[in-house]
Amino acid sequence: MTAATSIQKLLELGQSIWLDYVRRDLVEGGELKRMIEHDGLRGITSNPSIFEKAIAESTLYDDAIKTALAQNPSQSDEELFFRLAIEDVRAACDQFAPVYQNSDHSDGLVSLEVSPDLANDTDATIREAKALWRQVDRPNLMIKVPATLEGLPAINELLFAGINVNVTLLFSVERYESVLAAWFEALEMRVDAGLSLTDINSVASFFVSRVDTKVDAALEANGSPEALAVKGHAAVANAKVAYAHFRKQMESKRWERLASAGAKPQRLLWASTSTKNPAYPPLLYVETLIGPHTVNTLPPATYKKLLEVPPDSLDISIDRDLDEARALLSRLPEFGISLNTITQTLEREGVDAFSQAIHALLTRLKERRAALLGGA
């Protein structure tokens, strides 16, 4: 039977589509339920920028803010934000509960991030992640933790504790290899301790379009015809090499032991998949990265574009032209480009951008809080 939507077709091919957008009206207005039941949406990730815009441009959260402040007038702006975010995430978890149950607990997941201010503090990340896990109190929650060097031991400990982890801000294959190693170690420790693996979920969020933005700028600076011919190809090549490493590990004796104990693979999740260059096709980072055991998380505009695609036009593409992808990445030094330097820069900038988004949100929340208290 032909899939009714392109999202359902991708699921048949082994890829789950998640939405990078959580807002109260989406959850409470019935649209999220429709997207789950009609489109085939399989999960959702929270985004502080969306929350900030909702606070700034609507009265959507006013009643919730008033209620929260009436119950605890002295709570900090950050405490207030997490209270509101937890309410949204908990409600989204409940709407995805049927997907979670029907997918053998593999999908129907909702992500909430720890404060990016903690990205370089292992112990604080662990404490906040465990606190959020307890407060949301839903088995289909995922805690987003940045893949910094300090984040690696936090990821390991949280997974060992049985907490689902969405590892975010991954840009390099090398760092991804370290993340997958931390995941392996955590699950092996659970097996050795006689603990269950069946309900532990993790994804490794590998960012795509930002790599092309940086590499393309360097290729343009080089200016040679050979360099310009590579534009728009480095990010997909980078992702394909990461997926090849995943496939290799999934064929190992190490994975066989975990799989026999009930483990689910740590899927690669393609993040930052909207094209930043208007000259590129809007689904460049969707149609080229289709493969089993993957997730693609889309902002609303890209999500809508995907739904316009005929389902039968989609097919597995992640394993195509792997040799060419490796060759392309190996050529970058010829053009004076260090992919390692670029990905390190992207990680720093990513942490800073997430932190700035949270602080902008808290500033907006402080203003709204003051306005509502003044009105009262």
Residues with catalytic function: 144
Question: Do the beta carbons of residue 6 and residue 307 sit within 8 Å?
Answer: yes
- In 3D space, the residue among 312, 300, 357, 340 whose CA is nearest the CA of residue 119 turns out to be 357
Other CB atoms within a 10 A radius of the CB of residue 320 amount to: 14
Alpha helices, H only, the chain: 6-12, 24-28, 31-34, 48-57, 62-71, 77-102, 122-136, 151-160, 173-192, 209-222, 225-228, 234-249, 253-260, 284-287, 300-307, 322-331, 339-375
Structure tokens belonging to residue 77: 């702006």
SS (H, E, C) 217-249: HHHHHHCCHHHHCCCCCHHHHHHHHHHHHHHHH
Task: Give the Cα separation of 373 and 227 in Å (integer).
Answer: 57
3-state secondary structure of 37: helix
Q: Which residues contact 165 (CB under 8 A, 6 or more apart)?
A: 129, 142, 143, 144, 145, 155, 158, 159, 202
**Both tokens assigned to 49:** 């920028």
- Report how far residue 376's alpha carbon sits from residue 365's, in angstroms, rounded to the nearest whole number: 16
